Chain A
């Protein structure tokens, strides 16, 4: 009962925040587009449907066509699926990996901590985007590889964040009380400490979705995305050569990336404010 009430009040706090509302509405549009992409555009987005170089808002195709006569609106719709998929799956991998390493390092300390932190430092010294490019270039441009590359270069900062939070919660008296009651280490970590760190993980994770989407767009732009999948980055990359004669080919998918990332960041910020006890009331 109390749980449903607290969830309800979280939703209400999110809605009270104007940037949260804007973010949620934008995000809902993107998610709906992704879900109904195949209903709105039954044809393959790679199909050439009309004349090339048709500008938007004029002809048969609402957002125009690209230099091969593909419907840009269909590309945007199908691209949103990939963006969201990459964002969500990469974030899940990052959160699981980062939380696991960070929690163990923070709780056990000692050599576990030292070892884990040296490993995260190693990953943090690699420039993230270049690291992702190298991994995809070596392993081949497939969707799982792209997601894996994004996760590998991004988990380290989250691990350090979780470690710091776990250490601070571990120093609180109720954890000592649990030890004095004979609870096991892993049980204390999972049942007592992690729920206290969850807020931080949720907020960091929500912002990470946006970063992952940008990474994917960047990789596809450079031609390192899965060539069989229509994605926003790929559309921008393909339209780049015609940027002076057909602005819409680059601008429209660019706007899609911008609005999606903006929406997720707004929701993330609103979540942060709603979950932060110091910002209450």
Chain B
């Protein structure tokens, strides 16, 4: 990571308002650096704040019930949290793009797919319609759609799921953004298409030189495509590490439990006895009912009294891994 980061997030805290009009955090004290040409994976189970973090970066959360309570989001040293709505609108799609989980629903069903790519180009760049049309076809070529000129005049329902996700990627990359946030981009696709789409994102990442934030809960995807991993739990970052370090031995008990929960066909039967898949007991606590201690304490095997009374600080281990736990480094 020699290049200076394009996206720097410091102490980000996003809050939601509950019925009693008090505010509670859904993203809490998160730091993040993203360099050009790098893929940072954000993992964690459902409800731990991954998508909230992504939406906070682009400020897509509804203003009436949410707020950015603290921290800064620096894109090339420009603080996005201080931009007006109009300035923020120019950042979206232009500097930072986002692709969503469902390729079936993230395209307008009544608009030809080529036109949808053109719309994105026209929104940010004052080029002519014919120029936009030409670039849309080029982009469809780039994302590997055969007979792009013909396909451009088709409607989303005429394309398969993988094709649609390619179109979604083409739309997101229309203005060559510096950073791409992919919120579970392949969850709705089958595994072969999944590999193709991730491979495509990876190739384009190198071509355009952008940074990718890949939100997923599939650790296999992380191992294959990411350079760094950030584990989130209950709105906080609990561990951040290089992929190699992470998979050779994660430090936070939550990361360890996550990794142990991945089904492994070879390990399922040991000494003729089938081993049950290990799981993490309990669920993520509701974000508006967090105590002052470590939020993972209830489900943690290493819990001691200190876990219930104070929040663990983020510390850096000799391996370069950053982890927030009182008990890392202790033998299990």
A35 adjacent to chain B (CB < 8 Å): no
On whether the beta carbons of B92 and A179 are closer than 8 Å, the reply is: yes
Interface-centre pick from A2, A174, A192 (highest chain B CB count, 10 A): A174
B100 adjacent to chain A (CB < 8 Å): yes
On whether the beta carbons of B123 and A196 are closer than 8 Å, the reply is: no
On whether the beta carbons of B123 and A183 are closer than 8 Å, the reply is: yes
Complex Cα–Cα for A176 and B100 (A): 9
Q: Shortest distance in angstroms between A170's beta carbon and chain B's nearest beta carbon?
A: 12
CB neighbours of A174 from chain B (8 A): 105-109
Within 8 A of B (CB), among A169-199: 172-174, 176-184, 187, 191-192, 195-196
Complex Cα–Cα for A180 and B57 (A): 11
Given A176-B60, A179-B92, A181-B97, decide whether A191 and B110 contact each other with a Cβ distance below 8 A. no
Given A1-B153, A176-B60, A176-B100, decide whether A181 and B120 contact each other with a Cβ distance below 8 A. yes
On whether the beta carbons of B168 and A180 are closer than 8 Å, the reply is: no
Complex Cα–Cα for A192 and B102 (A): 18
| Nearest A residue to B119, CB-CB | A191
Q: Shortest distance in angstroms between A114's beta carbon and chain B's nearest beta carbon?
A: 13
On whether the beta carbons of A182 and B108 are closer than 8 Å, the reply is: no
Complex Cα–Cα for A181 and B93 (A): 4
What class of interface size applies to chain B in its complex with A?
20 to 34
B280 adjacent to chain A (CB < 8 Å): no
Q: Shortest distance in angstroms between A193's beta carbon and chain B's nearest beta carbon?
A: 9
Among the listed A110, A181, A184, A195, which residue makes an inter-chain contact with B172, where contact means beta carbons less than 8 Å apart?
A181
B67 adjacent to chain A (CB < 8 Å): no
Complex Cα–Cα for A172 and B172 (A): 18
Q: Shortest distance in angstroms between A2's beta carbon and chain B's nearest beta carbon?
A: 6
Q: Is the interface of A mostly helix, strand, loop or mixed?
A: helix
CB neighbours of A180 from chain B (8 A): 58, 60, 92-93, 97-98, 100
CB neighbours of B299 from chain A (8 A): none
| Nearest B residue to A277, CB-CB | B109
B134 adjacent to chain A (CB < 8 Å): no
Q: Shortest distance in angstroms between B181's beta carbon and chain A's nearest beta carbon?
A: 8
Complex Cα–Cα for A195 and B93 (A): 23
CB neighbours of A1 from chain B (8 A): 153
Complex Cα–Cα for A132 and B113 (A): 46
Complex Cα–Cα for A91 and B59 (A): 41
Within 8 A of A (CB), among B99-123: 99-100, 102, 105-112, 119-120, 123
On whether the beta carbons of A173 and B105 are closer than 8 Å, the reply is: yes
Complex Cα–Cα for A196 and B109 (A): 8
Among the listed A2, A173, A176, A182, which residue makes an inter-chain contact with B123, where contact means beta carbons less than 8 Å apart?
A182
Q: Shortest distance in angstroms between B183's beta carbon and chain A's nearest beta carbon?
A: 9
Complex Cα–Cα for A182 and B97 (A): 9
| Nearest A residue to B157, CB-CB | A277
Q: List 15 A-B contacts (CB under 8 A).
A: A110-B64, A174-B107, A176-B60, A176-B106, A177-B99, A177-B100, A178-B108, A179-B60, A180-B58, A181-B98, A181-B172, A182-B91, A183-B93, A183-B123, A195-B111
The 3 A-B residue pairs whose C-beta atoms are closest, nearest first, are: A182-B92, A181-B93, A182-B93
Q: Which residues of B contact A (CB under 8 A)?
A: 58, 60, 64, 89-94, 97-100, 102, 105-112, 119-120, 123-124, 153-155, 168, 171-172
Known: A174-B106, A183-B120. 20 other contacts (CB 8 A): A2-B153, A110-B64, A173-B102, A173-B105, A174-B105, A176-B60, A177-B98, A177-B106, A177-B107, A177-B168, A177-B171, A181-B93, A181-B98, A181-B123, A182-B89, A183-B89, A183-B119, A192-B111, A195-B110, A196-B110
